[in-house]
Chain A
Amino acid sequence: MSDVFDRVREANPIKDIDRYAEVVAGLDEQLHGISWRERMMDDKPRVVGLEPGPAPSRRRWWIAAAAAVIVVAAAGIGFALGSSDGERADAVATTTPVTTTPMTTAGTQAPVTTMGEALTPLEVGELFMERWAAADFDGVEALIDQAATSRCYDCPDTTIWPWSSAKYRGIEERTMGLAYIGGSNTQYSCAAVNAMVTCSLRIDSRFEPNDPGVYQGSLERVDIFTVVDGLITHLDFELWPDYEGIFSVSIADYEQWLADVHPDEHDELFFLGTLLVNDRGQRDTHRSLVSEWAAGLGR
Chain B
Amino acid sequence: MYRSFPSSARDYFDAMYARHYRHILAYCGRRLPSAEALDAVSDTFLVAWRRLDDVPPGPAERPWLYGVARRVVANHHRSATRRRQLVERVAGDGKSVLEAVDAQVLRAEADQEVIAALDRLGEVDREIVLLRLWEELTHLEIAEIVGMSDVAVRKRLSRARRRLQRLLQVDSEPEEVPGE
Q: Which residues of A contact B (CB under 8 A)?
A: 1-15, 17-21, 23-24, 26-28, 30-31, 34-35, 62, 153, 171, 174-175, 211, 213-214, 238-249, 252, 256, 259, 272-273
Contact = CB atoms under 8 A, between A and B. Distances in A.
A246 B47 CA distance: 8
B118 to A, nearest CB: 7
Q: Is the interface of A mostly helix, strand, loop or mixed?
A: helix
Contacts of A153: 81
Contact of A214 (B35, B37, B50, B130): B50
A62 B90 contact: no
A246 B72 CA distance: 9
A292 B14 CA distance: 36
Contact of B75 (A3, A24, A175): A175
Q: Which 5 A-B pairs rank lowest in CB-CB distance, beginning with the nearest?
A: A13-B108, A1-B172, A241-B79, A17-B26, A248-B75
A241 B39 CA distance: 11
B168 interface: yes
A21 B22 contact: yes
Interface string B144-176: 000100000000000001001100101110110
7 contacts: A5-B175, A21-B26, A24-B29, A31-B86, A34-B90, A34-B93, A241-B82
A239 B13 CA distance: 30
Interface in B114-134: 114-115, 118, 122-124, 129-130, 133-134
A239 B133 CA distance: 33
Interface in B93-113: 93-94, 97-98, 100-101, 104-108, 110-111
B22 to A, nearest CB: 5
A20 B25 contact: yes
A291 B74 CA distance: 25
A260 B172 CA distance: 40
Contacts, number: 175
B174 A3 contact: yes
Given A23-B104, A244-B47, A171 B78 contact: yes
Contacts of A4: 161, 164-165, 168, 170, 174
Contact of B123 (A5, A31, A249, A272): A272
Do most interface residues of chain B lie in helix, strand or loop, or is the interface mixed?
Answer: helix
A18 B122 CA distance: 30
A62 to B, nearest CB: 7
Nearest to A37: B93
B37 A17 contact: no
A272 B145 CA distance: 15
A14 B105 contact: yes
A24 B23 contact: no
A12 B89 contact: no
Contacts of A213: 50
A21 B86 contact: no
B146 to A, nearest CB: 10
A5 to B, nearest CB: 6
B44 to A, nearest CB: 7
B76 interface: yes
B108 A7 contact: no
Contacts of A18: 22
Contacts of A248: 71-72, 74-75
A239 B79 contact: yes
Given A30-B94, A34-B93, A20 B168 contact: no
Contacts of A26: 97, 100-101
B68 A245 contact: yes
A27 B34 contact: yes
A15 B30 CA distance: 10
Contacts of B25: 17, 20-21, 24
Contacts of A211: 53
Given A3-B170, A12-B30, A241 B97 contact: no
Q: Which one of B75, B101, B164 has the greatest number of beta carbons of chain A within 10 Å?
A: B75
Nearest to A241: B79
A23 B100 contact: yes
B56 to A, nearest CB: 15
Contacts of A6: 175
Given A15-B107, A243-B39, 14 more contacts: A2-B172, A11-B108, A17-B22, A17-B23, A24-B104, A27-B101, A35-B86, A175-B79, A214-B50, A240-B82, A243-B43, A245-B44, A249-B47, A272-B122
